[in-house]
């Protein structure tokens, strides 16, 4: 799963008041360590008013919510531009949405990307400054 507190997630199953496709926020680990056999695989998710919280299996019942440009947290991307310590062609990992909504006018079109040690993080424009990294066989995610 790779989920952290505060991550926006999407339910992949329906259960009680939760429907497949509902969006929620991870609030922490499963609150009852002895509650279920697969406790270590579960996180507590708040799906909002009327839906409430559910303890979901991170390995099969959730995925990261879609971000701008069709990216998800954890996606590997390639920089299409050079900026500060980042060079065109550098590969990084999407870590979430732009963290500072007041920072730039087009913040809603940006995702935060970690380019690794020595390069750091950058808030990249999702449709013009990054693309999905190549996968095995020359494919890109979504092909």
Those residues with Cβ within 8 angstroms of residue 142's Cβ, 6 or more apart along the chain or in another chain: 70, 132
Instruction: Tokens for 95, please give them.
Output: 């870590």
In this predicted structure, the answer to whether residue 35 has a pLDDT above a threshold of 70 is: no
If one compares 72 and 39, the residue with the highest pLDDT of the two is 72
Whole-number pLDDT of residue 127:
93
- Residue 6: exposure state from Cβ atoms within 10 A (0-12, 13-18, ≥19): exposed
pTM for the whole thing? Answer: 0.80
Task: Count the neighbouring beta carbons within 10 Å of the beta carbon of residue 119.
Answer: 17
Query: Of the candidates 46, 49, 39, which has an alpha carbon nearest to the alpha carbon of residue 11?
Result: 46
């Amino acid at each position: 799963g790779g989920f952290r507190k505060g991550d926006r997630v999407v339910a992949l199953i329906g259960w009680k008041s939760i429907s497949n496709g509902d969006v929620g926020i991870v609030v922490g680990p499963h609150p009852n360590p002895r509650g279920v056999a697969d406790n270590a695989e579960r996180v507590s998710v708040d799906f909002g008013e009327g839906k409430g919280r559910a303890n979901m299996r991170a390995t099969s019942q959730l995925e990261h919510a879609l971000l701008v440009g069709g990216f998800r947290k954890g996606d590997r991307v390639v920089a299409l531009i050079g900026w500060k310590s980042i060079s065109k062609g550098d590969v990084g990992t999407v870590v979430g949405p732009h963290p500072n909504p007041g920072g730039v006018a087009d913040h809603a079109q940006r995702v935060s990307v970690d380019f690794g040690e020595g390069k750091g993080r950058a808030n990249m424009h999702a449709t013009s400054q990054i693309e999905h990294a190549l996968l095995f066989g020359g494919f890109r995610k979504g092909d």
